[in-house]
Each structure stands twice: as structure tokens, then as C-alpha cells.
Amino acid sequence: MPGPMTIGVDVGGTKVAAGLVDSKGEIVRKVRVPMVATADAETGFSAVRNAVTELVGDAMPREVRGIGICSPGPLDPRTGVVLNPPNVPCWRDFPLGAETERAFRVPTRIDNDANAAGLAETLWGAGVGYSNVFYATLGTGIGTGIVFDNKIYWGRTGSAAEGGHNTIDYNGPRCGCGKRGCIEILCSGPAIARRARARIVESHLPTKMLEMAGGMADRVKAEHVGEAFNAGDALAREVLEETADLLAIWLGNVVDMLEPEIMIVGGGVAQLMSSFFGRMKKTIPEWSINPRAHEIPLVLAKYTADAGIAGAAALCR
Amino acid sequence: MPGPMTIGVDVGGTKVAAGLVDSKGEIVRKVRVPMVATADAETGFSAVRNAVTELVGDAMPREVRGIGICSPGPLDPRTGVVLNPPNVPCWRDFPLGAETERAFRVPTRIDNDANAAGLAETLWGAGVGYSNVFYATLGTGIGTGIVFDNKIYWGRTGSAAEGGHNTIDYNGPRCGCGKRGCIEILCSGPAIARRARARIVESHLPTKMLEMAGGMADRVKAEHVGEAFNAGDALAREVLEETADLLAIWLGNVVDMLEPEIMIVGGGVAQLMSSFFGRMKKTIPEWSINPRAHEIPLVLAKYTADAGIAGAAALCR
């Protein structure tokens, strides 16, 4: 007989992924169903229902102890209500937690993806053995999660840990969030591509990035920067070194404010930056007043594509 | 008979202040003795002993439940050991907590001044009714304290909440801490004076700041900026408006990362800036992605000159 399980549900704007996760954080089985986020609330919710049903069938297995759901925010993790996510316009003040409990008769928790993924890393991933964890997912955007004493830190209304929009350059480029020089507008995937394009245009240096983008600077993407770096391209290296330094400045602030036991970074940009972790580990202490900043591990997340499922499942542990 | 009391001891580089504090945070009685911080550890400690003895006499009153001590850091609040404070060179790995317990036979706690003052504000001051508090003391330097669930947040080794050195402008002026553009080098008292002097020199505008400093720009201090502003000086207003905006950018980061229930600012610069709290309350939400940032109160601390004594006493509650 299998041990206790939780179901993790990862809601996106066009699909819902769900997984059955065991007590060690292993994803035993997973499914994915389409999501229509632009119709009414019930249509949106039917995607969650379909995903869970496809995962476990019509009768909830006895070993399932709860359902955790990562949903685009803002949301209130205490009440389980999704407020008004731009990417899921069908849910406005929608009681996702309560509806899920009603549908499946198991305890349900909701939270945003970065908070949940940070918890999964703490319980089952790169943060095992630590109880005070700073997690960041670096990708199209930058999300963060704070875990204290093995619990997600929510703040006043569940909106804490939005460190991806902490500014390190108030004169810097303006982000979609309205702020200038936040780390997302400097170091997300699109931001790396933007800086690479600017360097290509202003330097006039030959670069493999340009080849990889078909000769058009305005088509250079973060992936091209990574591929060009792997192929020995000097300009691509410069762009990624600058990215590493900017991330280190930001993480230096995190060390000074939170002094976590470990810092875990996940997401596509974290993978892209993995060759520069050594540089970041040297630079973070230069941007922290903590004399023991160098002792704080900076590591890659365990979970990659399944971080949402694992994170959601962790919410019910 | 008086209720339970705690003794708060505030250690500085040249003096030790101590106070008897009741269960409501009122300072019933206080004393101050000189401190020689450059001799040996025992000489330094004798100032603590003298202060407590002068406060309560040779026999510890029965109603005293403990002694709290604010000491310059770095220190380890968990073990009560003072590590290597630049301002108190006589103490190197000095077990201040244990020595105090041995001398007076009451439980002793130590912490740094901003952490302690943040706790005093939470228990007895401007933060009463809140359990998740961000505190900042703005003066010659900028120190911060984080209180979660009515307890000081320490981080990995007790060195968390050094938000005064969080950078908001990594290209900005270099601080003594080694970082560029941290809020201390932008908005401490000396930093305000530095920015005022630069504005005076570059603008060539007439200003009362110059009169107040005897006609010499290089003698302008933060106090002159405040006095000139109160006397209607336009350039002084500009300098303080810029200070307000820089503090708001920094506090916007705090809201996004920590989402505290309240933000409390104390210290001389907080007093100086009190006319600009309205401006800061409008600007913080522009530098936060939290849609409810405007709901978070920004208030002046209750404790002023006695923040150290009150904070130290709060450590034993």
C-alpha cells in the first residue's frame, strides 16, 4: 500500500498541470489539461476539476491527504480566495480553496507559485536540512519565496516575498510593475535579452548571438545568449557576467535583510547562470555587510519544470 | 508594591545608560555612567556593573525579572556573546550575557539597538496591536529591526535586519560599509548634510542653510537643513523632499519583501522628516507592487532618546 500522498495542482493561463506526490516529494504521476481562463469562473474551475479527476479517477484515493494549488496571484492564502489575477481573468474574488474542498472533500490550500516552490525546495529539494530559506525563480519574470521555520512567510495579507520587484537602481529602466531598476527588469530572461541586444548594437563587435538570431539583433533571446556563451562568445560572457553581478547585488540586500540559511534559485535563467554561481558567491559578500555572508550556500533548485506541481503539493504537508 | 520590572542597559562607546522599566514600558528611573571602551574587557564590563548598581543599589530588587542589554554589534543574541564591535574594542568574543547573569543573578538577554528598539515599539510603543513590525532608526546611521509574531527576527546568526545597508542605487555613492547607494549613505543625517552641501555649491541659490552654518557650505549639517526648512527655505525643502523620496523607494522594497503590518521610524532624522510623512505615504505605493501598500501605516516611534533603554528592557519580556 502506498504511503500518504498529496495532489499538487499548478494553474496557468492556458493549462492546468496536476501531480500525485508522495511524502518524499517524488511526483508519482502527472497529467495536464487545457484551461480556458477568459470565460466564466466555473469554466475556469472545471479545468482544475478535470485535472484532478484525470489524475486519480472519480473516487479520491484514501491515501490522498489534501490538494494544494498554485494559482496566479494576487490571492489570499489564508482564505483560499483568488483575488484578480491578470492572467486568469475569469477568477475575481473566487474561493478556489473552498470550491476545491467542496468538489473533492479533502483539505485544500492555495498559494502563489514562488512561495509554494520555495516550500517544496525546503521540504524535499535543495533546502533539506534548512528551515530558513530564500528561494527565487528566475525566468520570464522573477518570483521569490521566503520560508521561516519551515513555513511560508506571508506577511500582512499574503503578499510578502515579492522580492523580484525590489529595486537596486532607482534610476534604472522602468519595469511593467511601475518601478525602475527592480531585479526583474534587469535580470529576467527578457531583460537579459534586452541588455544583450543593446550591447550588440552599441559595441559593433562580432558575436555568435547575432548568428543564432538569424543576423537580426532585435531577435536575440536569452537562450541565444546562453548558447553563444557555451560556444565561447566573449560578448555573451560579458552580458552574463553583468547579470551575475546584478543578481549578486540583489542577493546581498537579501542577506543583509533576511540572513537566510540558504539561497536557492530555480527557473530557466538560474540554469543559464549556473556557470556563474562561483562569481556570484564571490560578489555577494561584497554587497553585504554580513561578515559571514560567504557561508550562506547559493544553490540550484532541485525542481525544474515540475516546481509548480511539487510546490502545490508541499502546501498540504 | 510595584509590579514586575526589567532593567534596560544601553551600552555606547563612551557611556552606559540604564533604566528601570515597568511592565508597560514606562521608564521609572534611569542613570548614566561613563564607559571606557578601549581598555580591557573587565574595565568595559565594570561600566555595566556600575550602571546597574547605581540604578538599583547593591541588592537586586525582587521585582526585577531580568536585565536586557543593547550593545554595539556584531554580537550573537542567542549566546549572549559580543563578537568584535568597532566602537567597543575592549570586547572581543566577550560573554556579556553570561557575565551579567553571574554578576546579578537574573536572566540576561543582549541584542543590537535597532532590533531591541523595534521590539520596544511593538510591545509598548507605536506598534502596539501589531505583531509584524518593521522598525528603522534614522540618525547618524540607519539601523533596522524586524519583529515577527512579537519576536525579534534574527536570521541565521542574529545578523538579519541590517536593512540600513540595502542598496537602492548600485551606481550611487560609496558607503563606509563598502556598498554603493545603500540607504544609509543616501539618507542618514550626515548623508542629508552632504547632499545639501552639494546642492548649495552647484545651485548658487541663496539659502538660509548657508547663513545657519556661518556662511560656509562645508559646515552645513542635517540640523541646519531642518531649521532652514522650518524657516521656509526652498533649497532645504528640496533636499528633504529628495530624502523623503529616497526613503520611500527603500520602504517600497521593504513592503514588497516583508509586507509588514506597520512601519515605525525613529531617531533624529525621522523627527526631521516628520513633515514629509504625507509625501512618503503617497510615494511608497509607487515603489511597491503591493496593491494594498497604502494601507500600511508609517508612523513615528514613541521612544526617542530612551529607545536604547526601553529596547534593552523589552528583551526580557
Q: What is the pLDDT of residues B44-53, one digit of tens each?
A: 999 999 999 9
**What digits encode the pLDDT tens for the residues A225-280?**
999 999 999 999 999 999 999 999 999 999 999 999 999 999 999 999 999 999 99
A308 vs A112: CA distance, rounded Å: 9
* A191/A270 same-domain check: yes
pTM above 0.90, yes or no: yes
- Residue B245 burial (CB count, 10 A): 18
Grid coordinates representing A107 are: 483539505
Query: Which pLDDT does position B1 carry in this prediction?
Result: 53
Q: What is the mean pLDDT of chain B?
A: 97
Q: Chain A closest CA to B134's CA: distance in Å? A: 11
Nearest CA in chain B to A83: B291
> Percent of chain B beyond pLDDT 70?
99
Rg of the Cα trace of chain B? 20
Q: Say yes or no for a CB contact (<8 Å) between A179 and B289.
A: yes
Per-chain mean pLDDT for chain A: 97
Contacts 24+ apart (CB under 8 A), B271-275: B271/B300, B271/B304, B272/B189, B272/B192, B272/B222, B272/B223, B272/B225, B272/B226, B272/B240, B273/B138, B273/B240, B273/B243, B273/B244, B273/B247, B274/B300, B275/B229, B275/B240
Same domain for B268 and B130: yes
- Which residue from B155, B253, B259 is facing A155, i.e. has the nearest CB? B259
Give yes or no for a contact between B284 and B252, defined as CB atoms under 8 angstroms apart.
Answer: yes
Give yes or no: residues B189 and B52 share one domain. no
Domain assignment present for residue B242? The answer is yes
Question: How many Cβ atoms are within 10 Å of B158's Cβ, its own excluded?
Answer: 23
- Choose among A103, A92, A86: nearest CA to A9: A103
Query: Residues B176, A289: contact at Cβ < 8 Å?
Result: no
B67 shares its domain with B130: no
- Domain presence at residue B219: yes
Q: Are residues B290 and B142 in the same domain?
A: yes
C-alpha dihedral (A263, A313, A315, A128), degrees to nearest 10: -30
Question: What is d(CA A245, CA A133) in angstroms, rounded to the nearest whole number?
Answer: 21
B69: in domain: yes
Burial class (CB in 10 A: 0-12, 13-18, 19+), A144: buried
A159 and B259 within 8 Å at the Cβ level: the answer is yes
Q: Is residue A73 part of a domain?
A: yes
Q: Is the CB of B160 less than 8 angstroms away from the CB of A259?
A: yes
Give the domain range for residue B43.
5-111+307-314
Shortest Cα–Cα distance, A315 to chain B (Å):
20
In a domain, A208, yes or no: yes
* B118, part of any domain: no
* E strands in B210-274: 262-266
Q: Give the CATH number of the domain where residue A246 resides.
A: 3.30.420.40
Domain total in chain A: 2
Residues of chain A contacting residue B146, judged by C-beta atoms under 8 Å apart: 257
Q: Would B234 be classed as within a structural domain?
A: yes
Same domain, B86 and B150: no
- Verify that B100 and B131 share a domain, yes or no: no
Å between A239 CA and nearest CA of chain B: 17
Separation between Cα atoms, residue A174 and residue A182, nearest integer Å: 8
Contacts of A289 in chain B (CB under 8 A): 162, 165, 177-179
ipTM of the complex, rounded to two decimals: 0.96
A136 and A9 within one domain: no
Question: Is residue A124 one of the residues assigned to a domain?
Answer: no
Q: Give pLDDT tens digits for B231-240.
A: 999 999 999 9
Looking at the structure, tell me whether residues B143 and B267 fall in a common domain. Answer: yes
Coil/strand/helix, residue B100: helix
Q: Tell me: the pLDDT tens digits for A70-128?
A: 999 899 999 999 999 988 999 999 999 999 999 999 999 999 999 999 999 999 999 99
Interface residues of B toward A, Cβ cutoff 8 Å, are 74, 132, 144, 146, 148, 153-157, 159-163, 165-171, 177-179, 246, 249, 252-253, 256-261, 286-292, 296
Q: A37 and A178 share a domain?
A: no
- Pair (A105, A162) in one structural domain: no
- Rounded CA separation B87/B101 (Å): 23
Same domain, B98 and B153: no
